[in-house]
Structure 1
């Protein structure tokens, strides 16, 4: 069963949690209990495929889904039609103790595909299981990658429409093109004058606005979410932490039970939280290294215990991390305080009303035992891209470069030489201009996006990602732009509600 992080809602089944997206009265759904795997079970994963591991773990969390339903969802999501690598999340050895886990071999060249290729199948079943007869409308706030991955996953799924909001001129040109060229009769994309936090906050407010939801119900519509506020989005991300650890075991690069580090470039805290859930299930982890860009609200929080969003918002060359309100941190705090809903309510109220909150010393100590936070700036990010290419002939995107630089900071600070897996969250082609600038020391002037893609392919020796081919030949289908306060009325217009 699933419970609210704010202890303000009755327990629900997995299907209900996935259908609802977030708790209607505010808060996020988490599993009532985290299943724990034996060391023997984790060791045996090394002999299993990605899909086998996924089926086993999903069955522990989705008790109202049958084994055959789970198996079908997994096979529809993870296959060589959707992914261009048979292992789905290949592990590349950078040096003796550092590995890159490439999470971007899906259709939109970003790690969000790992979850958003399967969420539509989970949600379609959830709609049937919960007896919903209304049309379901998915609202998505995106800092760049979730938008296209969600649009692609839900495109032309019967009984579902999807509306994606992104910060206008606050994502890469490739990300914007990917979204605005999306086909499908049920897809809608809207640029918002503002930043990701403006999009996310407004969408979350709509989810908890009973009057607005009642108006939708009267028109035969229910809301759901494809953001990582939806447990069905977070759950699939647990799988690749087990899969990457199993790969190291299979290669003999680690011993059974040996602890590893994970470095995660982090914005909304979903990806790193999925890793933490894997750890609570028994995965041997020494440290989660939370890597931020100059919007370093998480770095400051992990170092001081104070989460303070009252700061300048910076647009950087790692835009998917340009976030000041990390939604999934609420889940982590609820878990780390042993499900203390009162504390979460107080902290979230402080964040909403005062712009900050501060955890107690005991909570801070527990967090620092497993989490390390640090950040880097744009210039250092570019330097890491250049140095990594020169030293290893490996091409990083800007977000993975942030992670590698923060990992370097961590080693210098701690001297920890544990084997370490770095989450690579996007193909370098998604942020081609910044990557090219780093590799060539030249700014792209009067060069089209497609010329940049071609040049990056030649310099890096990489084939252009299949999800980005022929973008220049696709028509722009979505042109709506609005102010953040206009989002509710835009939703009504799209849904043809007077």
Structure 2
């Protein structure tokens, strides 16, 4: 069963938590208890079989047959190759490549599953309305959600992204999405946090909910605030561990470190849940870019989101309000919903301080660091020079923070770096970092895409091939303040 981080809702089934997406009165759904799952019982299984075993205990109102059907996405050709998330040995560490899905980003690992989780949840919940999925994206979630939900019967999806705040490839991926039920909105003069705040405000509006219900529509979310988005992400940490044992890079029962480039904290929260379930994870390392609100928090215990916002070359991490951090603090505070309620009180205006006991628990669980633009580009170059391996600008942030961690701690635990996107999604900046190896024009995104392939010998992911030639639906422009009115105009009036 599921409960709210803010103590305002208890005893919800998985179907209810997934259908609602977010707790109606504010807060996020978390499991009331955690299962123990021994990784040894998963040896020799396929990725889909591991996914079923990891997810099933959290889906007690789903049949085994339903979950088995849902996880078939990992083996039905949507992902490149037999292994949807290979652990690639690089130097003395491993890179968990989470970008072999249709949109070349880690979001596919969960967003190919979420539509069927939601479809099954609606049946259990006895809801007959159509579902309106609202998604705020800093770059990768948008296309992955559009791809997962396109042409799904009884489902409509609207994606909001900051206009000018995503890479040209990310934007083109969204605007070329097919499907009669997909809508893309470019938020002019806004950043991801403003998009996310507007979406949360819509979820919290009883008036809008009532108006939508009159039109036989209900809200849900495909962001990682939705438990159905977060749950499949736990799976690949088990998979990484199983591969590390199989490859002989760790001894059975040996521990691993996990480094996660972090924006909305969902990917990192999934690693924490895997550890909570018994997976032998030693240290979780949180890597931020110049929007380093999390790195500062782990140092001081003060969460301060009212600060300068930077548009960077790692746009999916350009976030100051990390939604899933609320789930993390709920666990670190001993599940104290009163503390969560006080910290996330709207009157705090994005700033709060946690008590010393909670901070100590946070620091014992997570090491946090950050990298600026110059360091990110340097890391792409040095990693290519040292390992002939190409990092995208998000995974490069993780690599730099890992190097800093090694330097500070001398910890020789085998480490898995979660690689969240293909370098081809950010080819112009990757080519810029590798300028001494390439003659490609890094100012032209499409020339850089071909140039990167030529330089590295890596294939351009299928979903990015010919992207510049595909017909596109222009994004609807909207101001941050106009998002609520736009939804009314599209679906109510």
Residue 258 of structure 1: how far off its partner (Å): 1.1
Q: Determine whether 1:300 maps to 2:296.
A: yes
CA shift in 2, pair 1:443/1:21, >3 Å: farther
User: Deviation per CA, 1:44-76, whole angstroms, max 9, x where unpaired?
Assistant: 32322111111111111000000000000001x
Unpaired runs of 5+ in structure 2? none
Counterparts in 2 of 1:437-476, with a 5 A limit? Answer: 437-440=432-435, 447-476=443-472
Structure 1 Cα separation of the partners of residues 76 and 292 of structure 2: 37
Q: Which residue of 1 aligns with 2:339?
A: 343
Q: Who is 1:385 aligned against?
A: 380
1:47 counterpart = 2:26: no
Indicate conservation of the 8 Å contact 1:80/1:86, yes or no.
no
Indicate whether 1:103 and 2:82 are aligned.
no
User: How far did 1:452 drift?
Assistant: 1.5
Check whether the contact 2:285–2:367 (CA below 8 A) recurs between aligned residues. yes
Deviation at 1:460, TM superposition (A): 1.4
Structure 1 partner of 2:235: 239
Distance, in Å, in 2 between the alignment partners of 1:49 and 1:445 is 41
Q: Between 364-373 and 44-53, report the one with greater CA deviation.
A: 44-53
Which of 167, 175, 182 pairs up with 1:180? 175
Shift of 1:80: 4.7
Asked if 2 retains the 8 angstrom alpha-carbon contact of 1:173 and 1:449, the reply is yes
**Structure 1's 202 and 321: CA in aligned 2 closer, same or farther, altered over 3 A?**
same
Residue 311 in structure 1 maps to residue 307 in structure 2: yes
- For the residues of structure 2 that align with 1:99 and 1:138, how far apart are their CA atoms? 35
Moved more, 248-257 or 12-21: 248-257
1:413 aligns with 2:416: no
* Cα drift, residue 134 of structure 1: 1.1
* From 68, 71, 78, the counterpart of 1:71: 68
Q: Secondary structure at the match of 2:35?
A: coil
Structure 1 residue 444, shift from structure 2 partner: 7.5
- Residues 444 and 357 (structure 1), Cα distance of their counterparts in 2 relative to 1, 3 Å cut: farther
Instruction: Return 374-383 or 48-57, whichever deviates more.
Output: 48-57
Q: Alpha-carbon deviation of 1:304?
A: 1.0
Q: Give me the whole-angstrom Cα distance separating, in 1, the residues matched to 2:442 and 2:425.
A: 19
Q: How do 1:273-288 residues align onto structure 2 when only pairs under 5 Å count?
A: 273-288=269-284
Q: CA-atom RMSD, angstroms?
A: 1.3
SS in 2 for 1:132: coil
Aligned to 2:149: 154
Post-superposition Cα deviations, 1:232-251, rounded to whole Å, max 9, x if no partner, equal 00000000000000111112
Q: Output the CA distance in 2 between the equivalents of 1:279 and 1:415.
A: 22
How far does residue 331 in structure 1 lie from its aligned partner after superposition?
0.5
Equivalent residue in structure 2 for 1:227, among 196, 218, 223 = 223
Bigger mean CA offset, 445-454 vs 126-135: 445-454
Please state how far the C-alpha of 1:303 moved relative to its aligned partner: 1.1
TM-score (norm 1): 0.97
Matched, 1:24 2:24: yes
Once the two structures are superposed, the pairs formed by residues 82-161 of structure 1 within 5 Å of their partners are 82-96=78-92, 98-161=93-156
CA contact (8 A) 2:105 2:140 kept: yes
SS of 1:47's partner is: coil
| Cα-to-partner distance string for 1:200-236 (whole Å, 9 max, x where unaligned) | 0110111111111111112211000000000000000
Q: For 1:8 and 1:66, locate their aligned partners in 2 and report how far apart those are by CA, in whole Å.
A: 28
1:247, 1:212 → 2: CA distance? 47
- Give the Cα separation in 2 of the matches to 1:215 and 1:36: 43
Distance of 1:10 and 1:247 partners within structure 2: 37
SS of aligned partner of 1:189: strand
Indicate whether 1:422 and 2:456 are aligned. Answer: no
What is the aligned length? Answer: 491
Show CA shifts across 1:236-292 (max 9, x none): 000000000011111222112211100000000000000000000001111100000
- Asked if structure 2 preserves the Cα contact closer than 8 Å seen for 1:47 and 1:250, the reply is no
Q: Secondary structure at the match of 1:137?
A: strand
Q: Is the 8 A contact 1:188 1:478 kept in 2?
A: no
Please, what TM-score do these two structures have when normalized by structure 2? 0.98
**Unpaired stretches in structure 1, ≥5 consecutive residues:** none
Counterpart contact for 1:110–1:145, Cα < 8 Å: yes
Question: In 2, Cα distance between the equivalents of 1:204 and 1:85?
Answer: 37
What is the rounded CA distance, in whole Å, between the counterparts of 1:228 and 1:443 in structure 2?
A: 39
Q: How does 1:246-261 map to 2 (within 5 A)?
A: 246-261=242-257
Aligned partners of 1:269 and 1:326 also within 8 Å? yes
How far apart in 2 are the matches of 1:370 and 1:177?
Answer: 38
Q: Which stretch of structure 1 is more off in the superposition, 472-481 or 124-133?
A: 472-481
Q: Tell me: CA distance 1:8–1:443, structure 2 relative to 1, closer, same or farther (3 Å).
A: farther
Deviation at 1:321, TM superposition (A): 0.2
- 1:205-216 aligned at under 5 Å gives the runs 205-216=201-212
